Amino acid sequence: MSNALADTPEGAVVGIEIPHESATLHVTGAALYTDDLVGRTQGVLHAWPVQVMHVHARVTAMRVEPALAVPGVARVLTAADVPGINDAGVKHDEPLFPTEVCYMGHAVAWVLGETPEAARLGAEAVEVEVEELTSIVTVREAIDAGSYQGAARTVSRGDVEAGLAAAAHRFSGELEIGGQEHFYLETHAALALVDEGGQVFVQSSTQHPSETQEIVAHVLGMRSHEVTVQCLRMGGGFGGKEMQPHGLAAVAALGATLTGRPVRVRLTRPQDMTMTGKRHPFHASWEVGFDDAGRILALRAELTADGGWSLDLSEPVLARALCHVDNAYWVPNIELHGRVAKTNKTSQTAFRGFGGPQGMAVLEDLLGRLAPALGLQADELRRRNFYGPGQHAPYGQPIRHAERITEIWERVRATSDYDGRSAAVAAFNSAHAHVKRGLAITPVKFGISFNLTAFNQAGALVHVYKDGSVLINHGGTEMGQGLHTKMLQVAATALGVPLGFVRLAPTRTDKVPNTSATAASSGADLNGGAVQDACRQIIERLRGVAAATLGVHGHDVRFSGGMVTALGGGAALTWAEVIADAYTQRVSLSAAGYYRTEGLHWDAERMQGSPFKYYAYGAAVTEVEVDGFTGAYRTLRTDIVHDVGDSLSPLIDRGQVEGGYVQGAGWLTLEDLRWDGSDGAGRGRLATQAASTYKLPSFSEMPEDFRVEFFARAHESGVVYGSKAVGEPPLMLAFSVREAIRQACAAFGPAGHCVDLACPSTPEAVFWAIESARAEMRVALSTTTPAHVEA
């Protein structure tokens, strides 16, 4: 019996379509989230931030006495109360209680009240005096002022100057890429308690409990073993709860240690949107050269990420962006430079794709924009530049399974009837003057693993009880993505028991220590490997117990479906019988599992190495219809072929593909973060701080015909049960939406019209692109139509 990580046994529970393990709890409202625990806890104090409404200022005085006079206010937390380090980040640039206001709405103190209303009134009563400082709001302002933070990075290969000089066609341009609000249904929340021994217990809506534990400990001046953090589940995360929850948990923990009472922090939606980070907006400038066949010879680009007021995760986000500019395309000569801008906005953070989408947007945009200038269809231009077997990424990693790019591309072209529908779109556009359709196909190649090699490890704890029931605990967190469902399936498969035998406990730092964030699409890979390892340790012990009873060699014992049998048939034992025998024989029924991703190496200074375990591939075809009067669009149909390896849980993976695509479409076409860039009193204010002003995808933006297919023959060796990550890669399939909109806009202009489309491509931006196309059409008509001559 093979113990290879990727080998799937007969009777496996992985690969079976089952609902999310908490689906019933979700739809009935019975699922508990962090803030639901407040009602089950006595004597809770509620925290409210003292936000300063200046874009950049120095605090010169703060008086808390008026707040203490408000009925129901118990305490005001300030920097003077911090017994440890007054910092909420890992770069020591995020003071928990700052003396410098770095963005509008920055919290400088927190009020604890008997009720949320008392805390709110207390926060309003705190008197803060400030001295206004010069502010930088936009990325362009930061570039002009040289306002940067963190290290500059470069990825390069070949000779870009020589490549550009040899190019038959050279172009240059710029692209502004918008950010994105996470808008998880559950806003940030934490609940902290202190026991009789001074041990701090924090319930937190966090993707990274171990780091939350570390930050809470250093703020309180404690060691990590004095702080326990638990995450029941999150109502969405998308990266927004990877780094940002730490300071909020620390506020709750500080309040609890000072008052001896439980303290709750829960941000309102406007607070969450004005105080916490978002997807990084980017500015990109580029120069590219093509040969006469449309193949890219050279690309030089400069990417500037808007990091906001502190570094947070901006450096690794930038690194991943630089590593994904190439997407699915071979660029022999390439030079990519990256910087993180420092602006007076929220500290931008992780978001599904972690910089990868912004990097890919650069090359996808210029290919879509320039295809008409090269006399090629956009899909043909893309195909001509695909990676082939034996080629390497700009940072040196071999592109394993590069042939899958073309195979997936051809598969989705066939299943979507791309050629037939292209002709139908052209016919429709010829017959309609004010409504046009567009059809586009785009690929995805996304690297899986944390860029920082040390994060690619995980642990798990598995207990088998005397009655045969199983309890598993792992370091990953559940935010609706189905990780726990997959871990239940992995454990049941590794132990050879029915799914109903296995239960999963909430993620806690005192059960599995030193965990990595549930991020980088690596949750199932890492934690699945650890769960499988723990289960296999137990199975190896049980093998000897069962072998003695069955009278066979241990290697011939099989565990499947809750039965234990010998190879070739004969007598059979139940799982419960073997467990009972093992307990009687004093065989341990518990194991700590561990997994580390092999084969990774990365030089962050040189930006060279093999940072990814593998690549996830996919392609999407999208057809849209655009209204020429308003710029509004409808997504008529989407066809996706995506590589998920051997799916651990097909229903879960399908949901991730569909949800990722829709979230990507929101980022690229709808969600428009607006900060006030004027010089008035509102400078730096986030204008889109609620669902009323920030447009999110809804059912009306879903494709009317949505088809998803998993790529066949996609087994991935060296990964748990041959599966592949699915959290982030599908988001970038949504480039097909934006490119289809570009095609529709082009149909309003003359043949060969190059469409410069803003990002996000909101209806307003689409309208102006259509107007530009119409203006060019008028020019074309005026130069080709003979002038009327009077008789």
- Please list the active-site residues: 728
In the DSSP assignment, the letter for residue 33 is: -
DSSP SS3 for 111 = strand
Report the alpha-carbon distance of residue 737 to residue 749 in Å, rounded: 19
Residue 408 CA to its chain's centroid (Å):
23
- Residue 258 parent element (H or E): helix 245-259
Two tokens at 745?
């806009």
Whether 76 and 111 have beta carbons less than 8 Å apart is answered as yes
Cα–Cα separations (whole angstroms), residue 753 to 310, 622, 667, 739, 750: 42, 21, 25, 14, 6
Over its C-alpha atoms, the chain yields an Rg (Å, rounded) of: 28
Residue 239 CA neighbour count, 13 Å, CB half: 25
Question: Please, is 115 exposed, middle or buried when counting C-beta atoms within 10 Å of its C-beta (0-12, 13-18, 19+)?
Answer: middle
Question: Looking at the DSSP assignment, which residues form a beta bridge with residue 201?
Answer: 193, 228
Cis check: omega of the bond before 760, within 30 degrees of 0: yes
In the DSSP assignment, the letter for residue 126 is: -
Report the alpha-carbon distance of residue 383 to residue 313 in Å, rounded: 34
Report the alpha-carbon distance of residue 8 to residue 650 in Å, rounded: 15
Whether 669 and 249 have beta carbons less than 8 Å apart is answered as no
In the DSSP assignment, the letter for residue 382 is: H
Whether 298 and 286 have beta carbons less than 8 Å apart is answered as no
Q: What are phi and psi of 374, to 5 degrees?
A: -95, 0
Cα–Cα separations (whole angstroms), residue 361 to 207, 328, 534, 735: 26, 12, 41, 8
Report the alpha-carbon distance of residue 759 to residue 168 in Å, rounded: 29
Checking phi first, is residue 496 left (phi over 0); if not, alpha (psi -120 to 50) or beta?
Answer: left
Question: Looking at the DSSP assignment, which residues form a beta bridge with residue 245?
Answer: none
- E strands, 522-647, are 557-560, 563-566, 572-574, 590-596, 601-603, 608-610, 614-627, 633-642
Checking phi first, is residue 454 left (phi over 0); if not, alpha (psi -120 to 50) or beta?
Answer: alpha
Whether 171 and 363 have beta carbons less than 8 Å apart is answered as no
Sheet with 333-341: strands ordered across: 148-157, 333-341, 296-306, 282-290, 169-177
Whether 287 and 227 have beta carbons less than 8 Å apart is answered as no
Report the alpha-carbon distance of residue 157 to residue 421 in Å, rounded: 39
DSSP SS3 for 699 = helix
